[in-house]
């Protein structure tokens, strides 16, 4: 049974398009995150939600909008995609905010052409 799942796994799209990535966790955790990993493998937090409320919003362009319909789901919508958005996006969850033990999804590989 997958703990943290993401869809889609791969996303290839043109510049200017809008796309969404979905995430679900079945661990019963209260906190979920979106991370971006660039081509140099540097993993950086984008957003953190606790009980459907936004807790952390790093310096991320307004084109990125997270949405948490319930505690088990955290989606990421990206408007007007740019070349620099190409990266791997990971969803993660933990029992508490900023928990040391975070469970990551398999990642969504986004390529903007």
Q: Which is nearer to another protein, 78 or 91 (CB)?
A: 91
Cβ at position 106, least distance to another protein in Å: 5
Binders of another protein among 20-59, rule CB under 8 A? 40-45, 48, 55-56
Cβ at position 39, least distance to another protein in Å: 12
Order of strands across the sheet that contains 19-25:
4-7, 19-25, 73-78, 64-70
**Quick one: which of 54, 63, 98, 113 contacts another protein (CB under 8 A)?**
98
Binders of another protein among 78-97, rule CB under 8 A? 90, 92, 97
Cβ at position 6, least distance to another protein in Å: 9
Q: Which of 15, 3, 10, 4 is nearest to 112 (CA)?
A: 15
**If DSSP codes are grouped into helix, strand and coil, which group holds residue 97?**
coil
62: region left, alpha or beta (phi > 0 left; psi from -120 to 50 alpha): alpha
CB 78 within 8 A of CB 85: yes
Contacting residues toward another protein, per CB under 8 A: 4, 40-45, 48, 55-56, 90, 92, 97-98, 100-107
């Amino acid at each position: 049974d997958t703990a943290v799942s993401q869809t889609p796994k791969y996303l290839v799209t043109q510049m200017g398009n809008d796309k969404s990535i979905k995430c679900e966790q079945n661990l019963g955790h209260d906190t979920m995150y979106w991370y971006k990993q660039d081509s140099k493998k540097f993993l950086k937090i984008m957003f953190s939600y606790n009980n459907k409320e936004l807790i952390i919003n790093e310096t991320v362009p307004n084109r990125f909008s997270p949405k948490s319909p319930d505690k088990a789901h955290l989606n990421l919508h990206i408007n007007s995609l740019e070349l620099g958005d190409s990266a791997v996006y990971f969803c993660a969850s933990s029992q508490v905010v900023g928990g040391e033990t975070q469970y990551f999804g398999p990642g969504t590989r986004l390529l903007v052409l």
